[in-house]
Amino acid sequence: MMAVNLKGPFLCSQAVMETMKAQRSGRIINLGSLAGQVGGLVASAPYSASKAGVMCLTKSLARVLGEYGITVNSIAPGVAATEMAKNHPDMTDQIPLGRVADASEIASAILFLASEDGRYVTGATLDVNGGIRMA
């Protein structure tokens, strides 16, 4: 779990950092999770820990890479329309918007952070969770 969820983003960031530094711009967007913020609702402890690590990695990289014009952010999706969500239909009762997210809503948040409109956002974790967690 850690090798994919935490080491993967670390290695991908490491692979692009020098190129982005040289061009003095870039966007790194990691995928965190609601589970990484509050512990798993139905997720395992290793999954939650790996996603919490991703969100801390995001903040650390944002501090180091900001001077090069590189933004680093993460998205923390809540419950999405997946097989796991189908097995827990009662989860929507906990979501203020009353439904799970579809993939396009998560993708739209990523596109915002990747766009010029997101150029002044760095070190942030954008919650896309229908209000199940309000910071």
Q: Is 120 known to be catalytic?
A: no
CB 74 within 8 A of CB 62: no
pLDDT in tens, 76-128: 998 888 776 666 667 788 899 989 899 999 999 999 999 999 999 999 999 99
Domain that residue 51 falls in = 2-128
**Distance between CA atoms of residues 116 and 135, nearest Å:** 25
The catalytic position among 28, 47, 52, 127 is 47
H or E segment to which residue 109 belongs: helix 103-114
Pair of tokens at residue 59? 């903040």
> Is residue 39 assigned to a domain?
yes
* Residue 134 maps to a domain: no
Q: What is the CATH number of the domain that holds 16?
A: 3.40.50.720
Q: How many residues does the chain have?
A: 135
CA separation for the pair 61, 43 (Å, rounded): 26
50-76 residue pLDDT tens: 999 999 999 999 999 999 999 999 999
| Residue 133 belongs to a domain | no
Q: Other C-beta atoms within 10 Å of 13: how many?
A: 20
Is 135 part of a structural domain of the chain?
no
Q: Please give the Cα distance from 40 to 49 (Å, whole number).
A: 9
Instruction: Find residue 70's DSSP bridge partners.
Output: 26
Is pLDDT larger for residue 85 or for residue 1? 1
**DSSP character for 56?**
H
Angle, CA of 68, 69 and 74, to the nearest 5° = 110
Are 66 and 60 a contacting pair, CB within 8 Å? no
Per-residue confidence band for 43, with pLDDT thresholds at 50, 70 and 90: low
With contact defined as beta carbons under 8 Å apart, do 6 and 55 qualify? Answer: no
134 — pLDDT class (breaks 50, 70, 90): confident
Domain count, the chain: 1
What does pTM read for this prediction?
A: 0.91
